[in-house]
Amino acid sequence: MLKAIVLSSWLVILYATSIDLLVPDHQRQVVQFRSPGDLMIGGLFSMQSAALNVTNRTKPQTPPCERFYPMGYRAHLAMRFAIDEINNSTKLLPNVKLGYEIYDICLESLVAMRSTMMFLSKYQSDVIEVQCNYTDYSTRVTAIIGPGSSELAIVISRLFSFFLIPQISYSASSELLSDKKKFPSFFRTIPSDKKQAEAMALLVKEFQWNWVAAIGTDDEYGRRGMEKFVELASEKGVCITYEDLIPIHETTDGFSEKIEQIVNNLVETEVNVTVIFADDRYVDAFMNVVIQQQVTDKVWIGSEAWITDANVARIQNISSVGTVIGVGMKSGEMPGFEAYVSKILSDPAIKESISFSLYSNNTSGFCMSGDEDEVCRSQCKECETLTAENFTTIIDSPSMRVAFNVYSAVYAVAHALHKILKCDNGDCNREIKFYPWQLLQQLAKVNFTINSRQVYFTSSGDPPTGYDIMNWQWDTGAMPKFQVVGEFKTLDSSLHVDKTKIHWHTKDQQIPVSRCSKQCEPGQIKNVKGYHTCCYECDDCPAGFFQNVTGDPNKCTQCKKHQWSLPRSQACQEREEQFLEWTDAVIIPMVILSIIGLLLIIAIVILFAKNHNTPVVKAAGGNICFLMLFFLFCSCCSFYCFVGRPNWVFCTIRQPVFSIGFTGCLSVLLSKSFQVAALYSCQSTCLQNYGRYFFFLASILIQVVLCFVWQYWTPPQVIANYNVTEKIIVIECEEGSLAGFGLMLSFNGALAVICFMCTFMGRSSAKTYNMARSLTFSMLVYFIAWIFFIPTYATSEGKFVPCLQFLSGLISMYGIIGAYFIPKCYILLFKVQCNTLAFF
Ligand SMILES: *[C@@H]1O[C@H](CO)[C@@H](O)[C@H](O)[C@H]1NC(C)=O
Ligand SMILES: *[C@@H]1O[C@H](CO)[C@@H](O)[C@H](O)[C@H]1NC(C)=O
Ligand SMILES: *[C@@H]1O[C@H](CO)[C@@H](O)[C@H](O)[C@H]1NC(C)=O
Ligand SMILES: *[C@@H]1O[C@H](CO)[C@@H](O)[C@H](O)[C@H]1NC(C)=O
Ligand SMILES: *[C@@H]1O[C@H](CO)[C@@H](O)[C@H](O)[C@H]1NC(C)=O
Ligand SMILES: *[C@@H]1O[C@H](CO)[C@@H](O)[C@H](O)[C@H]1NC(C)=O
Ligand SMILES: *[C@@H]1O[C@H](CO)[C@@H](O)[C@H](O)[C@H]1NC(C)=O
Ligand SMILES: *[C@@H]1O[C@H](CO)[C@@H](O)[C@H](O)[C@H]1NC(C)=O
Ligand SMILES: *[C@@H]1O[C@H](CO)[C@@H](O)[C@H](O)[C@H]1NC(C)=O
Ligand SMILES: *[C@@H]1O[C@H](CO)[C@@H](O)[C@H](O)[C@H]1NC(C)=O
Ligand SMILES: *[C@@H]1O[C@H](CO)[C@@H](O)[C@H](O)[C@H]1NC(C)=O
Ligand SMILES: CC(=O)N[C@H]1CO[C@H](CO)[C@@H](O)[C@@H]1O
């Protein structure tokens, strides 16, 4: 492994040296600044950019640096400012003068490579001594600040990593650089793009956009950032409708055509929110096309590279594109920086030197005083037209964000040096000799506060800082204000957005919508159609199901057995337990009637007992009448077992008592009707008194056996019936086998039918006319009651079912009392004169 690294490093070095041969001499030296010192810090900044417009790459050559790049210029000033401050300070590095050597790397890796070689050499050249053992190899610089771009940082870090020279980047944010195995000497003061993508995904989620496009530049920064965003956003349920890359190395025509094609595709997909993970230069080109094509009222989510970029913000008519919101680097305070910059730029000598430098001959480039015999040349074509005024825009540029990253990076190096040189007691030990890898160890441990910002590096070399959420607000003028509307914290990955602060640049100032399908109402679940999970239909959860918001909201969960729900519910309600209660309105009159019935029976018993030996009572059956009334009484008492919360005892006894009571009653009536019939047809010997008792006992025995068999095989039990309606649970007695129940009722029915028929046979006899009439009526009432009962019972459900049997029993009882006993009582009480044997 080590061998491979060494080998590859040497290959790179060979390659780098070979560039010398390829780069024409006048292009070799790039703009630089230099200040001598005891310890040197290297700086790699891009103050110009290579031409985007390279049409003919037929020969290997570095593209010319031709556009002035203010951001890089601003950043380098921050480094110089920090070093100045540190030199002035009597605490941090007393008696040690830091120097710097700053190269313009022109946003080009070939140019950067050469500057790197300069740093790695021991002396002022780009030659690296060949050694077997680099442990005690010292380079010209102790640490390197930069470069800003991830693409360049990745190329260069390999070299620095081999020598273990600490390198702190201020804006290379690629996630790849967090890999400490590949880049052991790399640190940065900007969070990794992974965090940025996370912040963007949370931002998209915050406004419930799920139909989003993603555009990135076709470089390390754009590709990786976009990839990460797409991955994280998809995890959060956001659908990426469209993704594409803006090319960076294409011919002129292809380049603008591709951008136009991307914009057209965005319009076609009707997406309202687009994430742009790109370098400012490309966003500039992209936004110009967006404005040209009159794409308006969209939301553009910017990455930190361009969200605070003045060039993009100054594009004409940029406000028409809609809302720009994005993730910006956290800024920090740098008191005195503005004064420092204006002092440098307003110094007439410097101004002159800048004006001079802008010629592409050898006057001085951007070189400042302090250079010895170094020759600086500039190939900056645009620089020919630069004036001192152009530099003042650097001061009023709203963004000091990158500048602060540079500033804190320099301070981190100073704090590490402070530890190494043992400067704690007011003086540094300048004699201590140290190697870059020793500084690296100290740098990993720094932890300090600078202007209220905590600076340290996590184990992956990343800072703990988060992001500001920025919003472009065109309150006045063409240049928007970059308003901070929220914050993303890296340590716990949390996003806080103050929605009231955001200006939505739309017609109605409302939060724009970007969804494939509109959000489902509570209680609805998504029914995904097609490929994208964001395009769906909303289906209601049916009754009896609910949407578990905390669990799986895309599924309808069935309610528990004892619960119910309406369609479209998010929760279930408890079902109400029901049974026939004493307080139910329907039962009260029935209970009153039954009590009256009971009282009537008692009254009749007393009346009959008093008139025990009278013909009326004898005709009614004599002693057996009391037995009959007793059974009727029992039966009537069993009615109360049908009311109230069912329990096992009542369930078990109510049907036998009920039916045996009626059996007793009916068997007496039947023997009576036999008597009536017998008077007409057979002789009275048929049924003597004993015979009546025997018949009575036999009937009861049959009914008892029926009940016993029925209840033995299928014992009744108290059950909760969930099937009545979904909102209630009926607590009821399950009667067991319906056949048994039917048989029991049929037996009583059969007794009644026979009784009824017998009375018909005897009806024509005048003597028994009254008796027959009584029997017929009571049986008729009995039939009506039970004919009404059977179909109703069979088809009814719910708590009122027991009521039916109560009612039928009540009617039957009143039928018997009314038709059979009341006429006799009437005679006993009011027609005493009729109570003679002659009358019967
Ligand atoms: C690109 O370069 C060609 C020729 O060098 C020039 O004609 C063209 O205008 C340039 N395009 C841009 C966008 O600068
Ligand atoms: C590319 O270079 C060749 C040879 O130098 C030249 O003939 C051709 O016109 C160039 N193409 C463009 C687009 O400039
Ligand atoms: C450093 O000290 C010098 C002289 O005392 C002063 O002119 C300069 O402004 C100071 N620089 C900073 C950055 O404080
Ligand atoms: C490299 O040099 C250092 C110090 O000079 C020494 O401790 C180390 O053993 C050397 N490594 C090899 C592989 O020779
Ligand atoms: C900017 O918008 C104005 C008014 O809509 C229009 O007249 C002008 O041409 C636009 N400028 C550009 C560069 O598109
Ligand atoms: C540099 O070039 C400018 C114009 O291109 C010229 O006026 C000036 O004399 C040149 N300076 C030197 C030192 O050659
Ligand atoms: C520099 O300023 C002049 C006007 O002062 C302007 O025309 C020119 O475009 C500016 N150049 C840059 C690169 O901003
Ligand atoms: C840095 O120091 C502060 C106190 O000054 C401490 O609270 C914090 O935990 C330290 N952080 C690390 C990573 O050591
Ligand atoms: C985009 O916004 C327009 C206008 O506000 C709206 O009609 C359209 O439905 C939105 N598109 C999406 C995908 O939400
Ligand atoms: C919803 O789902 C969660 C997680 O599965 C579970 O803990 C919770 O009990 C469910 N809620 C209901 C009302 O069932
Ligand atoms: C309720 O219905 C289910 C299924 O239809 C059945 O298995 C169950 O026996 C019924 N319960 C009652 C008490 O009727
Ligand atoms: C006190 C001191 O030495 N200040 C120097 C710090 O370094 C800058 C150059 O970076 C000098 O200009 C200061 O004079």
Query: Can you tell me the distance from the alpha carbon of 139 to that of 128, in angstroms, rounded to the nearest whole number?
Result: 9
Residue ranges of the domains in the chain?
A: 2-191+360-456, 193-332+465-501, 524-574, 587-834
Q: Does position 703 have pLDDT exceeding 50, yes or no?
A: yes
CA-based Rg of the chain, rounded to a whole angstrom?
51
Does the Cβ of 131 fall within 6 Å of ligand 4? no
Q: What angle do CA 482, 483, 486 make, to 5 degrees?
A: 130
Q: Could you read off the pLDDT of 708-723 as tens digits, one per residue?
A: 999 888 888 898 888 8
Does the Cβ of 548 fall within 6 Å of ligand 10? yes
Q: Which helix (H) or strand (E) holds 661?
A: helix 648-680
Q: Residue whose CA is closest, atom 2 of ligand 8?
A: 447
Q: Which atom of ligand 2 is nearest to the CA of 251?
A: 13
Q: What band does 767 get if pLDDT is binned at 50, 70 and 90?
A: low
Query: Which CATH superfamily does the domain covering 2-191+360-456 fall into?
Result: Response regulator (3.40.50.2300)
* pLDDT for position 7: 38
> Ligand 10 mean position to 549 CA, how many Å?
8
Q: Which atom of ligand 3 is nearest to the CA of 81?
A: 13
343 against 384, higher pLDDT: 343
Query: Can you tell me the distance from the alpha carbon of 422 to that of 429, in angstroms, rounded to the nearest whole number?
Result: 6
Q: Which ligand is nearest to the CA of 455?
A: 8
Q: Could you read off the pLDDT of 190-209 as tens digits, one per residue?
A: 999 999 999 999 999 999 99
Amino acid at position 471, single letter:
N
Q: Residue whose CA is closest, atom 1 of ligand 1?
A: 53
Contact 383, 363 (CB under 8 A): no
Q: Which atom of ligand 9 is nearest to the CA of 514?
A: 14
Query: Can you tell me the distance from the alpha carbon of 735 to that of 441, in angstroms, rounded to the nearest whole number?
Result: 87
Query: Can you tell me the distance from the alpha carbon of 39 to that of 453, in angstroms, rounded to the nearest whole number?
Result: 26
Query: Which residue carries 């037209």 as its tokens?
Result: 385
360 against 196, higher pLDDT: 196
Query: Which CATH superfamily does the domain covering 587-834 fall into?
Result: Rhodopsin 7-helix transmembrane proteins (1.20.1070.10)
> Ligand 10 mean position to 548 CA, how many Å?
6
Torsions phi, psi for 469 (to 5 deg): -95, 120
Contact 703, 751 (CB under 8 A): no
Contact 39, 96 (CB under 8 A): yes
Q: Which atom of ligand 3 is nearest to the CA of 85?
A: 13
Kindly state the average pLDDT of the residues 638-648.
90
392 against 419, higher pLDDT: 419
Does the Cβ of 241 fall within 6 Å of ligand 9? no
* pLDDT for position 614: 83
Does the Cβ of 381 fall within 6 Å of ligand 6? no
Q: Could you read off the pLDDT of 127-181 as tens digits, one per residue?
A: 777 777 888 888 888 999 989 888 889 989 988 998 899 999 998 888 899 999 9
For the chain, give the mean pLDDT: 82
Q: Specify the 3-state DSSP secondary structure of 506.
A: coil
Q: Could you read off the pLDDT of 529-567 as tens digits, one per residue?
A: 888 888 888 999 998 899 988 888 888 999 888 889 999
Termini Cα distance of the chain: 130
* pLDDT for position 427: 87
Q: Residue whose CA is closest, atom 13 of ligand 5?
A: 316
Q: Does position 361 have pLDDT exceeding 60, yes or no?
A: no
**DSSP label of 575:** P
Q: Does position 763 have pLDDT exceeding 60, yes or no?
A: no
Q: Could you read off the pLDDT of 292-306 as tens digits, one per residue?
A: 999 988 999 999 889
Kindly state the average pLDDT of the residues 225-245.
92
> Ligand 10 mean position to 553 CA, how many Å?
10
Q: Which ligand is nearest to the CA of 547?
A: 10
Q: Which ligand is nearest to the CA of 317?
A: 5
Query: Can you tell me the distance from the alpha carbon of 582 to that of 594, in angstroms, rounded to the nearest whole number?
Result: 13
Does the Cβ of 272 fall within 6 Å of ligand 9? yes
Task: Measure Cα distances from 602 to 265, 599, 696, 794, 806 in Å.
Answer: 97, 5, 22, 34, 20
Contact 100, 371 (CB under 8 A): no
CATH fold label, 193-332+465-501? Rossmann fold (3.40.50)
Total-model pTM:
0.66
Query: Can you tell me the distance from the alpha carbon of 723 to that of 632, in angstroms, rounded to the nearest whole number?
Result: 35
Query: Can you tell me the distance from the alpha carbon of 413 to that of 411, in angstroms, rounded to the nearest whole number?
Result: 5
Contact 304, 173 (CB under 8 A): yes
- Taking residue 28's Cβ as centre, other Cβ atoms within 10 Å add up to 16
Where b means 16+ CB within 10 Å and e means fewer, 567-592 reads ebbeebeebeebbbeeebeebeebbe
Kindly state the average pLDDT of the residues 682-690.
54
* pLDDT for position 32: 66
Q: What band does 186 get if pLDDT is binned at 50, 70 and 90?
A: very high
> Ligand 10 mean position to 547 CA, how many Å?
10
514 against 72, higher pLDDT: 514
Q: Could you read off the pLDDT of 401-451 as tens digits, one per residue?
A: 788 999 999 999 999 999 999 998 888 888 888 988 899 999 999 999 998
Does the Cβ of 795 fall within 6 Å of ligand 4? no
Query: Can you tell me the distance from the alpha carbon of 824 to that of 346, in angstroms, rounded to the nearest whole number?
Result: 133
Does the Cβ of 344 fall within 6 Å of ligand 12? no
Q: What band does 603 get if pLDDT is binned at 50, 70 and 90?
A: very high
> Ligand 3 mean position to 418 CA, how many Å?
20
CA nearest neighbour of 622 among 609, 634, 637: 609
Q: Residue whose CA is closest, atom 12 of ligand 1?
A: 53
* Percent above pLDDT 70 for the chain: 83
Q: Residue whose CA is closest, atom 11 of ligand 7?
A: 386
Q: Does position 14 have pLDDT exceeding 70, yes or no?
A: no
Q: Which ligand is nearest to the CA of 288?
A: 5
Does the Cβ of 94 fall within 6 Å of ligand 12? no
* pLDDT for position 41: 93
Q: What band does 761 get if pLDDT is binned at 50, 70 and 90?
A: confident
* pLDDT for position 215: 94
Q: What band does 683 get if pLDDT is binned at 50, 70 and 90?
A: very low
Query: Can you tell me the distance from the alpha carbon of 667 to that of 660, in angstroms, rounded to the nearest whole number?
Result: 10
Q: Does position 523 have pLDDT exceeding 90, yes or no?
A: no
Mutate to test the pocket of ligand 11, among 723, 725, 732, 797 (most ligand atoms within 8 A of CB): 723
* Percent above pLDDT 90 for the chain: 34
* pLDDT for position 279: 83
Q: What band does 398 get if pLDDT is binned at 50, 70 and 90?
A: low
Q: Could you read off the pLDDT of 462-484 as tens digits, one per residue?
A: 999 899 999 999 887 778 888 99
* pLDDT for position 671: 84
Q: Which atom of ligand 12 is nearest to the CA of 86?
A: 6
Q: Which ligand is nearest to the CA of 388?
A: 7
Does the Cβ of 252 fall within 6 Å of ligand 5? no
Contact 442, 423 (CB under 8 A): no
Q: What band does 366 get if pLDDT is binned at 50, 70 and 90?
A: very low
Query: Can you tell me the distance from the alpha carbon of 73 to that of 77, in angstroms, rounded to the nearest whole number?
Result: 6
Q: Which ligand is nearest to the CA of 58?
A: 2
Name the token pair of 483. Answer: 């308003």
* pLDDT for position 360: 36
Same fold? 193-332+465-501, 587-834: no
Q: Which atom of ligand 8 is nearest to the CA of 449?
A: 5
* pLDDT for position 72: 81
* pLDDT for position 389: 64
Q: Does position 494 have pLDDT exceeding 90, yes or no?
A: yes
Kindly state the average pLDDT of the residues 36-55.
77
Q: Does position 56 have pLDDT exceeding 90, yes or no?
A: no
